[in-house]
Amino acid sequence: MTSPQANPAYPRPRETPTNAPMLAAWREGTLALQKCGACGHVFFYPRSVCPKCWDPGLAWISSDGRGRIVSFSRVHRGLSAAFIDEAPIVLAEVAVTEGALMLARVVCDDAQAVKSALPVRLLSLPEAARYPLPTFSLD
């Protein structure tokens, strides 16, 4: 079985020193989150200070890749050309088990089956390699 290649047409995230550990973890098929050493807050997207207490003492932790859909949108229009053939795409607010809330794509065979509170899991390799950012599927 050959591993799926990343869609070269997908918009690529701009890699910075702040988000590089998260992007490197995703290329390995895992989700890296940041945790504040001062207040213990776990969060996503990568930042240089804690969004809760503003402390710069942050550490990277590995997520177990599981969560639940909090809210979602099925996007049918206004998509860039890379996504047109995949419409509708599902963008969701996902609460991961470590406590962070994140916006992420949920891929599934039937976008109409997506509902709030459904469990999701992080895509694993080799499937994850198709997507430039952390992506989930229905669990």
Q: According to the model, what pLDDT value does residue 1 have?
A: 32
> Which residue ranges make up each domain of the chain?
20-138
The 58-62 sheet, strands edge to edge: 42-43, 32-36, 58-62
**What tens digit of pLDDT does each residue of 8-35 get?**
678 889 999 999 999 999 999 999 999 9
**What tens digit of pLDDT does each residue of 31-79 get?**
999 999 999 999 999 999 999 999 999 999 999 999 999 999 999 999 8
- What does the alpha-carbon distance between residue 134 and residue 23 come to, in Å, rounded to a whole number? 8
137-85-127-138 Cα dihedral, nearest 10 degrees = 10
Q: Which two tokens stand for residue 116?
A: 């709030």
Q: Letter for the amino acid at 100? A: A
**What tens digit of pLDDT does each residue of 28-41 get?**
999 999 999 999 99
64-65-69-74 Cα dihedral, nearest 10 degrees = 170
Q: pTM score, two decimals?
A: 0.89
- Beta strands at 89-96 and 66-75: parallel, antiparallel or unpaired: antiparallel
Task: Determine what percent of the chain is predicted with pLDDT higher than 90.
Answer: 81
Place of tokens 């994140």: 102
Give the other-Cβ count within 10 Å of 97's Cβ.
Answer: 13
Start-to-end CA span in the chain (Å): 23
Q: According to the model, what pLDDT value does residue 133 have?
A: 93
